[in-house]
Amino acid sequence: MSEELEETMRDSSAINGAWRIVTVAFAGDGGQATRDDGFGTDGLIIYGSSGYMTAHIVLPDRRESAASAAAQGGTGNPAHHAYFGTYTVDSVARTITHHRLANNNPGLPTDVVRSYRFLDNGCLVLSPLGGPGDQLTFERAGM
Protein backbone atom coordinates (compact mmCIF):
# COMPACT_ATOMS: atom_id res chain seq x y z
CA MET A 1 0.00 0.00 0.00
CA SER A 2 1.37 3.42 -0.92
CA GLU A 3 2.16 5.99 1.76
CA GLU A 4 -0.36 8.43 0.22
CA LEU A 5 -3.13 5.83 0.36
CA GLU A 6 -2.30 4.99 3.98
CA GLU A 7 -2.42 8.69 4.91
CA THR A 8 -5.76 9.14 3.13
CA MET A 9 -7.17 6.15 5.00
CA ARG A 10 -5.91 7.57 8.33
CA ASP A 11 -7.42 11.01 7.61
CA SER A 12 -10.70 9.48 6.40
CA SER A 13 -10.91 7.45 9.59
CA ALA A 14 -10.17 10.52 11.72
CA ILE A 15 -12.84 12.55 9.90
CA ASN A 16 -15.55 9.88 10.24
CA GLY A 17 -18.22 10.64 12.81
CA ALA A 18 -20.41 13.49 13.99
CA TRP A 19 -18.99 17.00 14.43
CA ARG A 20 -20.71 19.97 16.07
CA ILE A 21 -19.79 23.52 15.16
CA VAL A 22 -18.09 25.53 17.89
CA THR A 23 -16.80 28.62 16.09
CA VAL A 24 -17.26 30.35 12.77
CA ALA A 25 -14.99 33.03 11.38
CA PHE A 26 -16.48 34.84 8.40
CA ALA A 27 -14.17 36.87 6.22
CA GLY A 28 -15.62 40.35 5.97
CA ASP A 29 -14.93 43.29 3.72
CA GLY A 30 -11.24 43.79 3.20
CA GLY A 31 -10.47 40.29 4.47
CA GLN A 32 -11.23 41.15 8.10
CA ALA A 33 -12.64 38.15 9.94
CA THR A 34 -15.64 38.40 12.22
CA ARG A 35 -16.13 35.61 14.72
CA ASP A 36 -19.19 33.90 16.04
CA ASP A 37 -17.88 31.84 18.94
CA GLY A 38 -20.90 29.62 19.14
CA PHE A 39 -23.31 32.44 20.00
CA GLY A 40 -26.14 32.00 17.56
CA THR A 41 -24.58 29.67 15.02
CA ASP A 42 -25.23 25.97 15.41
CA GLY A 43 -24.66 23.02 13.20
CA LEU A 44 -23.73 19.43 12.74
CA ILE A 45 -21.81 17.64 10.04
CA ILE A 46 -21.64 13.86 9.89
CA TYR A 47 -19.15 11.85 7.84
CA GLY A 48 -19.98 8.16 7.57
CA SER A 49 -17.51 5.37 6.91
CA SER A 50 -19.73 4.47 3.93
CA GLY A 51 -18.60 7.64 2.16
CA TYR A 52 -21.85 9.54 2.73
CA MET A 53 -22.17 12.80 4.64
CA THR A 54 -24.77 15.33 5.74
CA ALA A 55 -24.44 18.91 6.95
CA HIS A 56 -26.78 21.36 8.68
CA ILE A 57 -25.62 24.85 9.61
CA VAL A 58 -28.06 27.34 11.18
CA LEU A 59 -27.22 31.04 11.32
CA PRO A 60 -29.96 32.55 13.52
CA ASP A 61 -28.64 36.09 13.12
CA ARG A 62 -29.63 35.86 9.45
CA ARG A 63 -33.30 35.02 10.05
CA GLU A 64 -34.35 38.52 9.06
CA SER A 65 -32.67 38.19 5.66
CA ALA A 66 -34.37 34.79 5.18
CA ALA A 67 -37.79 36.33 5.92
CA SER A 68 -36.99 39.21 3.58
CA ALA A 69 -35.96 36.83 0.79
CA ALA A 70 -39.15 34.79 1.24
CA ALA A 71 -41.29 37.93 1.20
CA GLN A 72 -39.69 38.90 -2.10
CA GLY A 73 -40.35 35.47 -3.60
CA GLY A 74 -36.77 34.25 -3.15
CA THR A 75 -35.83 30.61 -2.82
CA GLY A 76 -33.54 28.99 -0.35
CA ASN A 77 -32.87 30.08 3.18
CA PRO A 78 -29.67 31.96 3.98
CA ALA A 79 -30.22 31.19 7.67
CA HIS A 80 -30.15 27.41 7.19
CA HIS A 81 -27.76 25.48 4.99
CA ALA A 82 -28.53 21.78 4.67
CA TYR A 83 -27.31 19.17 2.23
CA PHE A 84 -26.23 15.57 1.90
CA GLY A 85 -24.22 13.47 -0.48
CA THR A 86 -20.91 11.68 -0.67
CA TYR A 87 -17.44 12.90 0.19
CA THR A 88 -13.85 12.20 -0.75
CA VAL A 89 -10.68 12.96 1.18
CA ASP A 90 -7.39 13.96 -0.46
CA SER A 91 -4.75 13.76 2.26
CA VAL A 92 -1.99 15.04 -0.02
CA ALA A 93 -3.86 18.26 -0.84
CA ARG A 94 -5.43 18.26 2.67
CA THR A 95 -8.89 18.70 1.15
CA ILE A 96 -12.28 17.14 1.57
CA THR A 97 -14.81 17.39 -1.25
CA HIS A 98 -18.53 17.32 -0.54
CA HIS A 99 -20.38 15.89 -3.57
CA ARG A 100 -23.85 17.24 -2.84
CA LEU A 101 -26.76 15.11 -4.04
CA ALA A 102 -29.41 17.45 -2.58
CA ASN A 103 -29.21 20.96 -1.19
CA ASN A 104 -31.85 23.26 0.32
CA ASN A 105 -30.26 26.32 -1.32
CA PRO A 106 -30.69 25.92 -5.09
CA GLY A 107 -28.07 27.24 -7.43
CA LEU A 108 -25.08 26.38 -5.25
CA PRO A 109 -22.35 24.18 -6.75
CA THR A 110 -22.73 20.42 -6.57
CA ASP A 111 -19.13 19.84 -5.49
CA VAL A 112 -17.55 21.94 -2.74
CA VAL A 113 -13.88 21.56 -1.89
CA ARG A 114 -12.70 22.52 1.59
CA SER A 115 -9.28 22.45 3.13
CA TYR A 116 -9.15 20.63 6.44
CA ARG A 117 -6.84 20.45 9.40
CA PHE A 118 -6.96 19.01 12.87
CA LEU A 119 -6.11 21.16 15.88
CA ASP A 120 -4.12 19.86 18.84
CA ASN A 121 -7.36 19.74 20.87
CA GLY A 122 -8.91 17.33 18.33
CA CYS A 123 -11.12 19.92 16.62
CA LEU A 124 -11.63 19.84 12.86
CA VAL A 125 -11.28 23.10 10.89
CA LEU A 126 -12.87 23.39 7.44
CA SER A 127 -12.27 26.30 5.05
CA PRO A 128 -13.81 26.60 1.56
CA LEU A 129 -11.15 26.70 -1.15
CA GLY A 130 -11.28 29.73 -3.39
CA GLY A 131 -13.57 31.49 -0.94
CA PRO A 132 -13.17 34.65 1.09
CA GLY A 133 -11.36 32.90 3.94
CA ASP A 134 -14.27 31.67 6.04
CA GLN A 135 -13.33 29.10 8.65
CA LEU A 136 -15.61 26.66 10.51
CA THR A 137 -14.32 24.82 13.57
CA PHE A 138 -16.02 21.64 14.78
CA GLU A 139 -15.60 19.42 17.82
CA ARG A 140 -16.60 15.77 18.07
CA ALA A 141 -20.28 15.48 18.92
CA GLY A 142 -21.35 13.13 21.67
CA MET A 143 -17.90 12.40 23.01
List pLDDT tens digits, range 104-128: 887 888 999 999 999 999 999 999 8
Question: What integer best gives the mean pLDDT of the chain?
Answer: 79
Q: Are strands 52-58 and 42-47 parallel, antiparallel or unpaired?
A: antiparallel
| CA 14 – CA 66 distance, rounded (Å) | 35
Burial 22-57 (b: 16+ CB within 10 A, else e): bbbbbbeeeeeeeebeeeebebebbbeeeeebbbbb
Contact by Cβ (8 Å): 63, 79: yes
Residue 142 CA to its chain's centroid (Å): 18
Per-residue pLDDT reduced to its tens digit, 42-88: 899 999 999 999 999 887 655 444 444 444 444 555 578 899 999 99
pTM higher than the cut 0.95: no
Which position has the higher pLDDT, 141 or 74?
A: 141
Which position has the higher pLDDT, 22 or 36?
A: 22
